[in-house]
């Protein structure tokens, strides 16, 4: 069964408490929290005070996806806010290994996200040090975009790299995930499905989460 991680970027911010309660009652495994700085990506989402409230409202792991430059500057603050997983972008980390060591030393689970144009081969020398790879299946910055088909090939390649080396790194797919494409993603080798609009814009979010979870 896949791990299902609804992205609260698509939730109703005026009803954040109820949205968290809904996720707590649902079959969602993780809370996916998107942090954007208006610099690495052309959008600004929410920051530490909001993350802190959300993390306090759940006992499920909070998967914090940092779409920000210089993530090392804030790693300790995200730990204090309650982040369980801290995912940084390959494209903004010239000293990626140092970022990963820092995240681990702060007792968080480290991950690396790559943009649609970044080849999975670039992860070869960091793969053994991380628990999660986020393959961006849209250009980061906005919810509700179309899934980029080339991602399928990237999932298969990364799955092969992980299996060949006997690693346990999880492959997380972020962007344009739907009930319709979930099956193909899982069969290509995905472990974690992030879903924003698919979950929160549905009249029955819990049912959609359940459908994603039980995708065969």
* Contacting positions for Zn ion (CB under 5 A): 34, 65, 174
C-alpha span between 55 and 184 (Å, rounded): 31
Contact call for residue 91 and ligand DX5 (CB under 6 A): no
Contact call for residue 195 and ligand DX5 (CB under 6 A): yes
Q: Is the CB of 32 or the CB of 170 nearer to ligand DX5?
A: 32
Q: Is 174 a catalytic residue?
A: yes
Q: Is 34 a catalytic residue?
A: yes
Q: What are phi and psi of 141, to 5 degrees?
A: 135, -25
CB 177 within 8 A of CB 198: yes
Instruction: Compute the least distance from the CB of residue 29 to ligand DX5, in Å.
Output: 15
Active-site residue among 29, 34, 37, 131? Answer: 34
Q: Can you give the C-alpha Rg of the chain in angstroms?
A: 16
Site for ligand DX5 in 49-68 (CB under 6 A): 65
Active-site residue among 63, 131, 174, 191? Answer: 174
Contact call for residue 9 and ligand DX5 (CB under 6 A): yes
Neighbours of 173 (CB within 10 A): 30
Q: How far apart are the first and last CA of the chain?
A: 8
């Amino acid at each position: 069964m896949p791990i299902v991680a609804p992205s609260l970027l698509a939730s109703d911010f005026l009803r954040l408490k109820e949205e968290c309660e809904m996720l707590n009652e649902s079959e969602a495994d993780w809370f996916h929290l998107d942090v954007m700085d208006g610099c690495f990506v052309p959008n600004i989402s929410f920051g530490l005070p909001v993350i802190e409230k959300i993390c306090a409202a759940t006992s499920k792991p909070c998967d914090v996806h940092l779409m920000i430059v210089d993530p090392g500057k804030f790693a300790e603050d995200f730990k204090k806010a309650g982040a369980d997983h801290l995912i940084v972008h390959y494209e903004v980390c010239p000293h990626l290994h140092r970022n990963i060591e820092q995240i681990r030393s702060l007792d968080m689970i480290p991950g690396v996200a790559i943009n649609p144009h970044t080849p999975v081969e670039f992860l070869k020398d960091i793969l053994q040090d991380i628990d999660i790879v986020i393959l961006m299946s849209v250009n980061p910055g906005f919810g509700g975009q179309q899934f980029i088909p080339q991602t399928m090939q990237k999932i298969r390649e990364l799955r092969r790299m992980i299996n060949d080396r006997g690693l346990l790194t999880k492959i997380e797919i972020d962007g344009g995930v739907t009930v319709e494409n979930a099956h193909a993603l899982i069969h290509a080798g995905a472990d974690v499905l992030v879903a924003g609009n698919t979950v929160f814009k549905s009249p029955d979010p819990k049912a959609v989460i359940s459908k994603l979870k039980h995708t065969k």
